[in-house]
Structure 1
C-alpha cells in the first residue's frame, strides 16, 4: 500500500489540495457522488481545468456558485454531515475537519462553537473543498499521510469580519491546538499562503509532518492556487513508497500527541461492578485505566478511577461513564504526552514463535522484549522459572518479524 506526501509549495488551501488529488487520479465522478449525498448538487458547478503558474502546469479548481446567500453555522453543517448516508470513516473525516474549524473560530471569537457562523468557510466552495479532499483520501486509502511544514505568508486579507492580518486568527489557533510547526524563511511574500480550510485539512488528515528522508515516487498531482507570487504557487500530492530506513530516524521518536484524561470518584458501586466498568473502558479503546481506594466524604471508602484515552473518543467515553457507572460528575482534561515509537511482532526461539514488543529510543536504538503473557505461558508449559525462560529466549532468539508498522 502506497503512502501520500503532501508538499506545500509554499502554502496550502482547500482548492489547491483538491486540484492536486484530481490530477493524481481521483475521479471527478467519485467526488461529485459524495457531494450529492449532502444535497449540494444543485448549488454549484465544479470544474477542473489545466492551467499554469510561473510556467508550471497543474490543475485549477473552479466552483461556480448558484447560491451566494446561504451562510451556514457549525450546527447546520454538523446536522448535514450526520444525516448523510456515507461510509463511517469518510463521515468521521469530514466531521472532524469542520469541528476543528468550529472550535478554532469559537476560541478566536470567544463564543460557543455551536454558535459559530463560518462565513467564507460555510460557503459552498469550502464545502466542496473539504468534502472533496476527504473523499480523495478515502478513495486512495494510503498507508500513511505525510506533509512538509507549510508557510503562512504575511500582510492583510479582506474577510467578512473585516480586515484581518495574515496568518488569520483561526489559522493560528488550529496550528497551536495541533502543535504544528511552520516555516517562516520566505515570509517576505505578501498574501495568505495558507488558508484556514487548508490548514484544517492538514491538521486532521496528515499523520506525520516529518517527511521520510528516503522514498520513491510512483506518481504525483499538482494543484494551483489563485495568488500570483514570485515563486510557483502550488501544492503537490505524491504517491510514494518510503524506505524502512526511515523507521530509525531519531527525529520521529519520541512522538508528541495530545490525550484526554477522564476521572471520577465513586463510593456507591461494588468492587465487582467497578471491575466490569474498568474492563469495559479497556475494551473500548482506553490507552490505560487505573484505580485506587480513597477516603471520601462521610468517611466512606470509595475508588478514584482514571482513564487515559484518545481525544477523538472523549465524547463516547463520557457516555460510558454516565451509562455504566453511578457517578454524577466527571473531571476531564486535555494533556500532552511524548511516547516512544513501538510495534508488535514475533521471534523464532527454542520454544517456537514468541511474541515480542519493540520500542525505539530517541537515538534510534531499538529495544526489544518478550511479552509478559508469553513468559508466563512458557513457564507453565516448560515447568521453568521466569528467569530461565528469559535466558533461553535471549540466547536462541532469531530475527524479529513485525506484525505492524511503527506507531
Structure 2
C-alpha cells in the first residue's frame, strides 16, 4: 500500500487539491458518486481542464453552480444531508469531520452555535463539491499514511459575504489554532489568500503527519492549479510515494526496521527531584525509553546526562518538552534506524488466574513468552514467594494465550 504526500506550493485550497487528485488518476466518477448519493447531481457542473501556472502544467477545477434555489446552507442542514445520504461509513465519517471542524471554527469566530452557522462560501455548491470530492478521492486511493508540508497562509485582504476580511481569514486562524497546525511565514512581497478555510479544514482532518517523510521515492503525482496569479507557480502537488522507512515495515518481515529519534542533553542546574519528574514526563508522553545518569560537568559541577528514544513522528513534540519542563538551553537530536523483533501483548491462564504476558516472534518462527514484570511483582507480594518461584509457577502452568493486539 502506498502513502500520499500533499505538497502545498505555497498554500492549499479545496479546488486545487481536487484538481491534483484528478490529475493523479482518480476517476471523475469516483469523485462525483457521493455527490450523486447525496442528491446534489442537479446542483452543479464539474469540469477539469488543463491549465498552467508560471508555465507549469496541471489541472484546474471548475465548478459551475446551477443551484437555482441559492440556498445558504447551515451546518444543521449539511449534517442532515450527510447523515441521511447513502455513503459508506468510512467516507461519511471523514466528510462529517471536515464540515464539523469548519462549523466549529466559524461558530467560534462569529460567536454563535456551530449548528446555526450559515456557511456562505463554504456552504455554496462549489465548496460542497470540493470537500466531498477530495474526501472521496482519498478514500478511493486508501493510502497507508498521508503526509503534508507546512502551508503558508498569505496576507492582505479577501472579499467575502462578510465583507472585506484580512488574510488569513478568522476561520483559518481558528482552524490552525485548534488543530495546532504549524505554518510557514509568508513571503513579504506577496499579497493574497494562499490557504483557504476549506483547504485548511481538509488538511487538518485528512493528514496524518504535517511533515514529509525523511526519505521516500515518488511513484506518480498530480498537479492542481489555483485561480490566483502570483510571480511564482500557484499549485498543489499530490504524490503517491513509498517512504524509505516503511519499505521495511510490514508484518511479514521479522525483524523489522523503523526510524526513531534520539534526543539528549546534559543538565547541571536542576535538582535530582526535578530531573526525576522530567524523565517521568517523557515516559508518560510516550517515549520508547529514557535513560539518565550523573556526570561531572564544567566548573566541577555534578549534572545529569539524559537520553530519550522517541517515535520519529513525535520528535517536534518532545523537542518542545525539553524546553518547557527542563532547564536545558540546547538539545542534541539525531535520526537513527533500529531493528526490532515483532511482539504482541496478551494474557494467558495460570495457576494464579489470568495474567498479562508479552510474546516475541523470533526470526526462525519460534515464539518466546514472558510475564509482564508488574504482574510478577504483584504476585510476589500477594503469595509471599520469591521472584524466581513466581516465574517458574507461571511458566509451568500457563496456557490458552489470548492476544490483545496484532504483531507489531
- TM bucket normalised to smaller: 0.5 to 0.7
State the secondary structure of the residue aligned to 2:357.
helix
State the secondary structure of the residue aligned to 2:237.
strand
Matched, 1:230 2:231: yes
Matched, 1:61 2:45: no
Task: Say if 1:20 and 1:235, in contact at 8 Å, map to a contact too.
Answer: yes
Task: Say if 1:18 and 1:132, in contact at 8 Å, map to a contact too.
Answer: yes
Matched, 1:192 2:209: no
Residue 10 of structure 1: aligned partner: 10
Query: 1:3-402 counterparts in 2 under 5 A?
Result: 3-67=3-67, 69-244=70-245, 247-250=258-261, 338-340=285-287, 360=311, 371=345, 372-374=356-358, 375-376=370-371, 385=389
TM-score (norm 2): 0.66
Q: Closer, same or farther in 2 for the Cα pair 1:225/1:384, shift >3 Å?
A: same
TM-score (norm 1): 0.66
Question: 5+ unaligned residues in a row in structure 1: which ranges?
Answer: 253-336, 343-357, 391-401
Q: CA deviation at 1:340?
A: 3.7
Q: Report runs of 4+ in structure 1 exceeding 6 Å deviation.
A: 365-370, 377-380, 386-390
State the secondary structure of the residue aligned to 2:41.
coil
Q: CA deviation at 1:248?
A: 2.4
State the secondary structure of the residue aligned to 1:86.
coil
Q: Take 1:163 and 1:91, find their aligned partners in 2: how far apart are those partners?
A: 34
Q: CA deviation at 1:373?
A: 1.5
Q: CA offsets, 1:119-175, max 9 Å, x none? A: 000000000000000000100000000000000110000101111000000000000
Specify which of 396, 403, 407 is matched with residue 403 of structure 1.
407
Q: Closer, same or farther in 2 for the Cα pair 1:376/1:8, shift >3 Å?
A: same
Q: Closer, same or farther in 2 for the Cα pair 1:102/1:377, shift >3 Å?
A: closer
State the secondary structure of the residue aligned to 1:188.
coil
Q: Closer, same or farther in 2 for the Cα pair 1:149/1:385, shift >3 Å?
A: farther
Residue 306 of structure 2: aligned partner: none
Q: Closer, same or farther in 2 for the Cα pair 1:360/1:117, shift >3 Å?
A: closer
Q: Closer, same or farther in 2 for the Cα pair 1:11/1:2, shift >3 Å?
A: same
Q: CA deviation at 1:243?
A: 1.1
Q: CA deviation at 1:30?
A: 1.1
Q: State which structure, 1 or 2, has the greater radius of gyration over its C-alpha atoms.
A: 2
Q: Take 1:249 and 1:208, find their aligned partners in 2: how far apart are those partners?
A: 15
Task: Say if 2:155 and 2:186, in contact at 8 Å, map to a contact too.
Answer: no
Q: Closer, same or farther in 2 for the Cα pair 1:86/1:370, shift >3 Å?
A: closer
Q: CA deviation at 1:186?
A: 1.6
Q: State which drifts further: 103-112 or 362-371.
A: 362-371
Task: Say if 1:151 and 1:187, in contact at 8 Å, map to a contact too.
Answer: no
Residue 331 of structure 1: aligned partner: none
Q: Closer, same or farther in 2 for the Cα pair 1:341/1:24, shift >3 Å?
A: farther
